Structure 1
Amino acid sequence: PETRPPALTRLQIKQARVASPRTVTSRARLQSPSLISIVLLAGLGALLYGGFLLNPRNIGDPLPFAIVIICELYLIGQAALTMWTALSSTYDPRDATFHAARATLFGSPVDGIPIGDDLYLGRRRITVDVLITTYNEDPVIIEGTARAARDMHGTHGTWLLDDGDDPRVAEIAERLGIRYVVREDRSGAKAGNVNHALRLSTADFAVMIDADFVVVPEFLEETLPFFLHDDVAFVQAPQVYGNAHNFISRGSAYMQIVFYALTQPGKNKYNSAFCVGTNAVFRRTALDDIGGMFEGSQSEDIWTSIFVHERGWRSIFVPMTLAVGRTPETIEAFVRQQVRWAVGGFEIFLRHNPFSPRRRLTTDQRMQYFMTVTFYFTGIVPLGLIVLPPMQIYLNITPVSLEVPLLQWILFYCGFYVLQIGLALFIIGSFRWETLLLSTVTFPMYTKAFFLALAGRKPSWTSTGATGQAASPFDFIKVQMVFLVFLSATTVVGFLKAEWTAEYSVALVWNILNTLTLGAFAVIAAREHIALKRAARAELAGTVLVAGRRTLAAGAA
């Protein structure tokens, strides 16, 4: 008989605690006076800094001032929208109906229905299919995901949707006793894979799980009861990561904590929580109502969400850790993921803008979707701020009037940024310089994503856990390396000019900090490059050794 390991290993659980929204979205934490005070102060700091920048007395030279106004006011606007949403994050969607449905999910003896593994909403028996999409992921990872999905509480079907047509994945499905599906026409990427399975499935509800997310046994118990409300289209759980063990994986995991801790819970209040592609349960009739998952983008999740909301359906975000997955561990994987996500946001901004009168959304939903699809412009903002110090060093032009006391500017500047960092510190529990560094160096990725969306082109797609020959990380950060050389040269020029006014000194210090940030990223890339080379040599040596043993064995025979 097969021995079944626990759905989550001890290591995964320990690692997940680092980035688990469960630890930061409890009602007690969200309703704490400290968090509310920090949110209000951060919002006030944003407004005061905005007022300082717009004061005509503070205007400096036109070009750098225009760059500062565009970049800083955009950041202030995003921060204000985030604060507004965060203040609603205490809203709990688990009402009396949810608790009643959860209590009778496995049947109610009072109504004459025996308690067992079958699932019920009210008195109606429901059916559920769990759809695991795969495309060239490591079979070991796929097996862990499939086993955990199969072992969830409640009667359900488990399907492996393999667009990689891998015989090893087929063996996993056979060994675990779950359904294996391969399609001939692989159009539509992940969304097409799901839609193909939906045409084969007759279940009332479909659970979407990526191949690298391990669900907890109670997943269905914490999501299905919401569907007793007939207008709920989907229920979304957060993405939590169990592999935050190197710089890239830690940084990319922490970058999403505020989103899952405050933003998504706050969106519940405005019926605008959106699907993130995995750890979601969809009502079949809601998907049928919009023609299935949207196949026109690799960000099918948010596109599907907005179409669902336009049809009048509701969505629910559950602030609980119900699955643990894998975040990018290499620069290549991180770049590909960020570009793919950003293209999806820019596509909606350009082609399906939430503020268009043709969108059938409420005012709150328009605001929330606009905040979401314009978020990735924050990744382009560092590009504008990085070029400001060189402007002053080479051209002697400044964004702020020289008549403004330096201390006054510092007070307003810190009042905005320090409070934003303080809010993140309160949520995360510690300062994460990995997140700060990655946020600074993403500007080439998001700039590329914007122009891809503008041209109507799709980025190349590779799943987070995909296997294959890894490329050098420097192949994906060429722009950052060009800026590193440029800023390094600018620092040398800055010291040679030696104009030690207060404004010039500030510009030089900022240029040095930006140089060090890009330099640190280059060091991380170099270490990763060396590690990949060693791994490739070890793999080659292993292959040669195995081949040699086979040759000797054949000769002996």
Structure 2
Amino acid sequence: MMSPSERIGRATPYILILLGTLLVLTASQAMISLAAQAYLSIAILLCTLVIRRRPGHFARLLMMGLSTFISLRYIFWRLSYTLEFENWFQTSLMLTLLFAEVYSWIILFLGYMQLVWPLNRKECPLPDDESLWPSVDVFIPTYNEDLSVVRNTVLAAMAMDWPADRLHVYLLDDGRRPEFRNFADEVGVNYVIRANNQHAKAGNLNHALAHTSSELIAVFDCDHIPVKSFLIRTVGWMVQNRDISLIQTPQHFYSLDPFQRNLDISEHIPPESNLFYGLVQPGNDFWNATLFCGSCAVLRRTALVSIDGFAVETVTEDAHTSLRMQRKGWESAYLRETLAGGLATESLALHVGQRIRWARGMVQIFRTDNPLLGRGLSLGQRFCYLSAMLHFFFPIPRIIFLLAPMAFLFFGENIIYATPLAVMTYVVPHLLQSVLTQSRMQGRWRYSIWNYVYETAIATFLAPVVVVAFFAPRRGTFNVTAKGGLITKDYLDTRMVRPNIVIGCLLVIASFFGIHGMIDHRATPVLFQTYGMNLLWTTANLLIVLAAVTVGYERRQVRRAPRISAQLDIVLRDPEQGKRYPAQTQDLSKGGLSVTMLGPLPQGVQVVEVEYINKRDKITTCVPARIVNQRDVLVRLEWMSRDTQDETAIIEMIFGRSDAWSQWSNYSNDKPFHSLTILTRSIANLLMLVILRRARQV
């Protein structure tokens, strides 16, 4: 039973949204002179610059309202005053651009609704009486992944802090491989196979669901390694509220994704996935619309049974499953605590393949189980799911925006019937307000401009998939994302960047057309300004396309076990002399570790025992390691694991600590100009790298 103050707090966002929407809709339709529009935009921009430095929800809501107001004025102006139908070709180009703009505005508005009041849910403690703790089945599905990847997750799942008689780990092997069966028998986990691979991952999970019985089910992709306290920190909500069907946690990736590695920005720019797990999911949680993401989550068996198991109708079984549970009235929860770490896609090609499946699946859900239709969902839930599904239509508008200025520069077709001054008076405030507002909202989770790079790098590959899935939603199959691969040398993946190279060449040619047009029409102000405006648009597009191309320059990656930065107090013990030497780790991997000593190790010491004790997480490690090299107080060691027990101890030390991934959000808040600088510098650095390597080869 909520108190009156809690009811007021819960209702406040709805009231503010309703009042704000009514005011904005009313005011944004008032048509005024061009000069008055300019003065209004400047006044609102100045207010925004003052407000964005203020903390709190009210400042965020006010910025969102001002941005919505300015953007609505732009859209109403576009629809009312800038459409002129001359011929079929010009009309087609004009309506195509208008479609892209309306889509972008819808996504902007839905994004504001989705993030209006992110819910920063805290952990819910479990009952002191352990007899009240539920039993948990842990599902680890696998198909073609290497055993070296899978065994880390299995051993970590077995080591989770939970009563042994209520923790059951299942390795679900759709590859039906003998070495996996032998491994399962060796470590003592349940090995489950089925006769066929029907419905891919969802079918694998449903098969296990039918052969298990625990109250709760934890699901981990086979490369996602949970911390020991995963269940302790998540299950409390499931015990406290029996109506919660799902509690999702972030999927954190401890290896670099293609953008971070290939653009060399890992220390400067948040990973692409941080926006979704750091901000979008807490926003969904406010609306009781948390999406199941297929891993790092706990689900209630009765909720799954009520919808006949994991959804099999689309290739994104995770999001569809949560949608179906919420249609049945089940609640969901999101805990923004990184309690597992996994492997990111190693290359741009694998990244694109993964996004193709996501795009296909979300468009399939949009067509076959549209959240705007049917019963069971609240308005907020419908908006959140609609936003998630419409987002994956982005490839088509993205390509349209890249090519749009060529309509005038190549063909002389006006696709916005207005003077350049009028266009800039409406479009510049719209863009500035949305950039500043999203910069404030997204903060340390996503930096300005980078969204365009992420989208442009994959848009040409996803666009045909989106179109096919929209018109033929039953087509398409589940594709498994490969993890744990190697890149033996630096190279440009021409197959993945060829479409953007073509677009880049067209933009360069268009730029020459723009410069030539400005020179030829310098005596005609309107034409001169029109060429200049389209040249500016083309230049901005070219910068984004260059960044997208450089992502395809794959960097060498030959470490199967990525190094993870961690400063842990340890002791190196000389087993022969019995002496102990305090040290601190610098980085750790499954293969070894680097440590800093208080003083140099004595000559002749070749093997030591690494001792680490973590009382909070009940981790005790004592594993031998061979000294690989030593430079003064910096020592590199290689693990000498003797058995599975040693391997488990190493995994717990690296991945099992509660604070193993606590640094995932340690980025400064976004500054748009700084973000642009990083983008430009990244492109320049990689271009110089390629040029220098070519020069050496010559």
TM-score of Structure 1 vs Structure 2, range by shorter chain: 0.7 to 0.9
Structure 1's 133 and 43: CA in aligned 2 closer, same or farther, altered over 3 A? farther
- 1:88 pairs with one of 103, 109, 117: 117
Distance 1:323 1:345 in 2: 25
Pair 1:392 & 2:408 matched: yes
Which one-letter code corresponds to 1:84 in the other structure?
Answer: M
Call closer, same or farther: CA 1:70–1:91 in 2, change over 3 Å.
same
Q: Which consecutive residues of structure 2, in runs of 5 or more, have no partner in the other structure?
A: 1-53, 86-90, 523-527, 560-698
1:489 to 509, 521, 530: 509
The verdict on how the C-alpha distance between 1:513 and 1:459 changes in structure 2, with shifts beyond 3 A counting, is farther
Pick closer, same or farther for the CA change 1:57–1:194 going to 2, 3 Å: closer
Q: What residue number does 1:53 align with?
A: 75
Residue in 2 aligned with 1:191?
202
- C-alpha distance in structure 2 between counterparts of 1:265 and 1:420, whole Å: 18
> Given residue 243 of structure 1, which amino acid in structure 2 is its aligned partner?
S
Query: Matches of residues 171-186 of structure 1 in structure 2 within 5 Å?
Result: 171-186=182-197
The correspondence for 1:523, drawn from 544, 547, 550, is 550
Distance change (3 Å), C-alpha of 1:523 and 1:58:
same
Deviations along 1:478-527, one digit per CA (max 9) or x if unpaired, are 433332333233233333444452221121122133234323333332x3
* TM-superposition CA deviations, 1:27-62 (whole Å, max 9, x none): xxxxx8256524531442233122123226751555
For the Cα contact (< 8 Å) 1:93–1:316, is it kept in 2? no
Change (3 A) 1:371 1:522: closer
Give per-residue Cα distances to partners, 1:65-97, cap 9 Å, x unaligned.
534432233222222222222222136376xxx
SS in 2 for 1:334: helix
Residue 368 of structure 1 aligns with which residue?
384
Deviation, structure 1 residue 360:
2.7
- Per the alignment, residue 546 of structure 1 pairs with none
Higher relative contact order (CA 8 A, sep 6+): 1
Judging changes above 3 Å, is the alpha-carbon distance between structure 1 residues 142 and 294 closer, same or farther for their aligned structure 2 residues? Answer: same
Shift in Å at residue 200 of structure 1? 1.6
1:253 & 1:166 partners in 2: Cα distance? 38
2:246: which partner in 1?
234
Structure richer in helix, relative to its length: 1
Aligned to 2:138: 130
Structure index of larger Rg = 2
Cα distance in 1 between the residues matched to 2:548 and 2:460:
14
The separation in 2 between residues aligned to 1:459 and 1:167, in whole angstroms, is 26
Distance 2:143 2:236 in 1: 31
- Secondary structure of 1:210's counterpart equals coil
Give the aligned partner of residue 41 of structure 1. Answer: 63
Structure 2 distance, partners of 1:246, 1:469, is 11
Q: Given the superposition, is the C-alpha separation of residues 39 and 177 from structure 1 closer, same or farther in structure 2, using an over 3 Å criterion? A: farther
Match of 1:457 among 452, 475, 478: 475
Aligned length: 479
* Separation of aligned partners in 2, 1:411 and 1:205: 52
Superposition deviation, residue 128 in structure 1: 0.8
Larger strand percent: 2
Cα distance change, pair 172–47 in 1 and its aligned pair in 2 (3 A): farther
Question: 1:428-468, CA deviations, whole angstroms, 9 ceiling, x for partnerless residues?
Answer: 3x847654412233322332221231222115612241659
- Read off the aligned partner of 2:388 and give its amino acid letter: T
Aligned residue in 1 for 2:156: 148
Partner of 2:370: helix, strand, or coil? coil
Q: Distance in 2 between matches of 1:373 and 1:259?
A: 13
| Contact 2:346–2:484 (CA under 8 A) maintained in structure 1 | no
Check the 8 A contact 2:70/2:430 in 1, yes or no: no
| Amino acid in the other structure paired with 2:509 | A
SS at match of 2:404: helix
- Assess, with a 3 A threshold, how the Cα gap between structure 1 residues 276 and 149 changes in structure 2: closer, same or farther: same
Structure 1 pair 406/424, CA: closer, same or farther in 2 (3 Å)? same
Structure 1 segment 331-342 matched on structure 2, within 5 A: 331-342=348-359
1:264 to 2:291 alignment: no
Amino acid at match of 2:135: T
Residue matched to 2:232: 221
Q: What TM-score comes out, normalization by structure 1 length?
A: 0.78
Query: In structure 1, what is the equivalent of residue 177 of structure 2?
Result: 166
Is this contact kept in 2: 1:247–1:434, CA < 8 A? no
Task: Tell me if the contact between 1:191 and 1:300 (Cα under 8 Å) persists in the aligned partners.
Answer: yes
Asked whether the 8 Å contact 2:326–2:377 carries over to 1, the reply is: yes
* Partners of 2:201 and 2:270 in 1: CA distance: 22
Corresponding residue for 1:447?
463
